[in-house]
Amino acid sequence: MLRPYKILVVDDEPDLEPLMLQRMRRHIRKGRYTFVFAHNGVEALEVLNRDGGIDMVLSDINMPQMDGLTLLEQIPKVDPNIRSVIISAYGDMKNIRTAMNRGAFDFVTKPVDFKDLQITIERTLAHMQEWREALSYRDKLVSIQNELEVASRIQQSILPSEFPEDMRYQVYGNMEPARDVGGDFFDILDLDKGRMGLAIADVSDKGVPAALFMMSCRTLLKGVAIGLSEPGPVLAEVNQLLHEDNETFLFVTVLYAVYDPGSGEFTYASGGHDAPLLVRADGSAELLPLTDGIALGVVPDLDYRQHSVILQPGDTIVLYTDGVTEAQNMLGDAFEVEGLHRIFAGTLASITAREGTDSVFQTVRDFMGEAAQFDDITCLTLHRDK
């Protein structure tokens, strides 16, 4: 059983107290209401300040020391969630209007009709109850939003923020989530024999479930990649592990590549991910072949094919998620792979990996203009130095 509602009755007429206790006795006995009494506004404020947990105030208007209208202005300073009902003389519209304008929830008139008063009290308390619930939902929402911000920071913090420095190549990536927590990620791994692993991935949804799936995918990929040296078998193993207890039917498209800076050999396998764009030193560009792999986490026991190309000095590989190619402008046109081609065509000889990636983000943003970002945008660029 909930505690009784506590109602403060303020009136300078001594008759009201016994009358109220008598007429409301059934509700008092049932534990629905308890009453506290004060005889003017000053006393009422003392009670409010001293005696916490008052739910509503029922107050007369004309009283010595401090009248009801002044009291109405003071109550929110003690607790803005207390609701007040005014008792006024019959037909005294001027005071009733003033009371309503000062925040009274309702009014009753003298002589008090206790049946009507009881309905008014119930209505006021019901309103107050809903108001308190709304406040508590708002507080919960704020705390969830705070947690989402934390999740978003964790997610950003697991993305590489420092990039390997090597005379022979440059690599640089970035991710901009569409919502608080995204489903894209990229990773750069140190492998044996001086080789480097590059991953870019896109989970098939946004929000918290996708973010958790993304975290687990990234961790599995990292662990598997260090043990196995070829991209195809790495994807096969990660697919198997992700599929094992995937009740959610979330899936992830992954492009995983191994780069050998010594030979310039770039070997990749795609699990349902967009094809890498290879931009040659002369600015000509081609999409590398898809390796026909299925997105990870959906079907067990798959083999993943891989494909190799040799990067010549001055060549660049651009890895991206569909947040880049499917970014829309205000007209509803998509950025497309051609948009990526255009960024790199011609200007490439002097561009660094960082400039390349930054330029992709800048160009996509300019293209989108005021249009909403539907999807996470991720781009990872590898450039073999001359």
| Residue nearer to other proteins on the CB measure, 9 or 211 | 211
- From candidates 55, 202, 237, 315, binder to other proteins by CB under 8 A: 202
Residues between 308 and 347 with contacts to other proteins, criterion CB under 8 A: 322, 326
> Sign of the CA dihedral 354, 356, 357, 363?
positive
Nearest approach, Cβ of residue 55 and other proteins (Å): 40
Cβ proximity to other proteins: between 141 and 299 the closer is 299
Residue 274 in the binding site for other proteins (CB under 8 A): yes
**Residue 197 Cβ vs other proteins, minimum distance, rounded to whole Å:** 22
User: Any contact of residue 250 with other proteins (CB under 8 A)?
Assistant: yes
Distance of closest approach, residue 153 Cβ to other proteins, in angstroms = 21
Are 284 and 263 within 8 A, CB to CB? no
Q: Which of 295, 317, 318, 379 binds other proteins (CB under 8 A)?
A: 295
Q: Which is nearer to other proteins, 60 or 322 (CB)?
A: 322
In angstroms, give the least distance from the CB of 295 to other proteins. Answer: 5
User: In 3D, which of 73, 75, 58, 55 has the Cα closest to residue 128?
Assistant: 55
Q: Is 375 in the site for other proteins (CB under 8 A)?
A: yes
Among residues 78, 96, 208, 290, which is the contact residue for other proteins, using CB under 8 A?
290
122 interacts with other proteins by CB under 8 A: no
- How far is residue 324's CA from residue 326's CA, in Å, rounded to a whole number? 6
d(CA 143, CA 149): 10
Q: Which two tokens stand for residue 62?
A: 């004309």
Structural contact between residues 180 and 210, judged by C-beta atoms closer than 8 angstroms: no
Among 96, 159, 281, 294, binds other proteins (CB under 8 A): 294
Residue among 41, 68, 177, 293 that touches other proteins (CB under 8 A): 293
Q: Does 275 engage in binding with other proteins (CB under 8 A)?
A: yes
Give the separation between CA 10 and CA 60, rounded to whole angstroms: 6
272 interacts with other proteins by CB under 8 A: yes
Phi/psi of residue 310, nearest 5 degrees? -100, 125
299 counts as binding other proteins under rule CB under 8 A: yes
C-beta closer to other proteins: residue 83 or 273: 273
Q: What DSSP character marks residue 334? A: B
Which residues make Cβ contacts (< 8 Å) with residue 301, sequence separation at least 6?
240
Of 84-92, 138-146, 197-205, 257-265: span binding other proteins (CB under 8 A): 197-205
Return the closest-CA partner of residue 19 out of 113, 135, 129, 131.
Answer: 113
Residue 176 lies near other proteins (rule: CB under 8 A)? no
Helix locations, the chain, DSSP H: 16-23, 25-29, 41-50, 68-78, 93-101, 114-158, 207-227, 231-244, 322-325, 336-344, 353-368
Least distance between other proteins and beta carbon 298 (Å): 6
Task: Single out the segment in contact with other proteins by CB under 8 A; choices: 27-35, 37-45, 228-236, 245-253.
Answer: 245-253
Q: Select the residue interacting with other proteins from 35, 114, 163, 374 (CB under 8 A).
A: 374
Q: How many CB atoms lie within 10 A of CB 100?
A: 14
Report d(CA 216, CA 19) in Å as an integer.
68
Cα distance between residue 222 and residue 256, in whole Å: 11
Amino acid (1-letter code) at residue 163? F
Read off the amino acid at residue 373: Q
Binding site for other proteins (CB under 8 A): 178, 202-206, 249-251, 253, 271-275, 290, 292-295, 298-299, 322, 326, 374-375
